[in-house]
A and B are shown apart, each in its own frame.
Chain A
């Protein structure tokens, strides 16, 4: 059988970040409030 010498791609078809990472991002987004006061942004994390 012929050998395949082509380089294996590092990217597999469905590479996904950990579910915990996505969950963190969604929760972080929900908790984060950014307010602008006198031209400055203030980040507030609401628990």
Chain B
């Protein structure tokens, strides 16, 4: 018995009239060509599946709104939709490049988390606290200059104006403050590293 194949145009007509089986036949008939076409451009199975799905969602919506006219053929029309979606995919990919993990390339080589771990954070806070305690032990004039410079980010020129001493004196006080801090640290063998 001869196997008579119903034309695409007739299947489309049946589908628009509400025969859901017609869509299954159309997909089965053309899935290989359409998917193969998409895969030939994309070379990624998952993305190709997504584009195939989006293509047929457009097909379904267009047919259900009865805005499809059988001027051209069904397959070239679907291929054109797929082609446009492929172009959209590459446009998006260009805007937001996708990095895939391979044997030679690890995503972590360009991505790192520089923030401190909880342990390092606690250590940093401890060091900060120790330094503040050490500063408290400095003579008042040295403490004043060091605090203004390091914690308030005031220039030596401004410090000299605010404290009523010359820049050289302010610089000298800073120098002595640092030397004294070093001495205390060495003497007490305080570890101030993270």
Of the candidates B32, B35, B56, B61, the one whose C-beta lies within 8 Å of that of A34 is: B61
Q: A29–B31 contact, CB under 8 A?
A: no
Q: A26–B24 contact, CB under 8 A?
A: yes
Distance in Å from the Cβ of B77 to the closest Cβ of chain A?
16
Residues of B within 8 A of A34 (CB): 61, 64-65
Q: B52–A21 contact, CB under 8 A?
A: yes
Residues of A within 8 A of B32 (CB): 14-16
Interface residues of A, dominant DSSP = mixed
**Closest A residue, CB atoms, query B60:** A29
B142 within 8 Å of A by Cβ?
Answer: no
Task: Report the contact-size class of chain A (Cβ under 8 Å from the partner).
Answer: 20 to 34
Q: A11–B53 contact, CB under 8 A?
A: no
Interface string of A23-34 (1 = CB under 8 A from B): 011101110111
Q: B49–A28 contact, CB under 8 A?
A: no
Interface string of A1-20 (1 = CB under 8 A from B): 00000000011101111100
Q: How far is A26 from B28 in the complex, measured between Cα atoms in Å?
A: 11
Q: B40–A29 contact, CB under 8 A?
A: no
Distance in Å from the Cβ of A38 to the closest Cβ of chain B?
14
Q: A11–B36 contact, CB under 8 A?
A: yes
User: Which of A16, A30, A36 has its CB near the most chain B CB atoms (within 10 A)?
Assistant: A16
B131 within 8 Å of A by Cβ?
Answer: no
> Which residues of A are at the interface with B, using a C-beta cutoff of 8 A?
10-12, 14-18, 21-22, 24-26, 28-30, 32-34, 36, 41, 43
Instruction: A11-B40, A12-B36 given; name 19 further pairs at CB < 8 Å.
Output: A10-B39, A10-B40, A10-B43, A11-B36, A11-B39, A15-B39, A17-B35, A17-B49, A17-B52, A17-B53, A25-B56, A26-B27, A29-B60, A29-B64, A32-B60, A32-B61, A32-B64, A34-B61, A43-B61
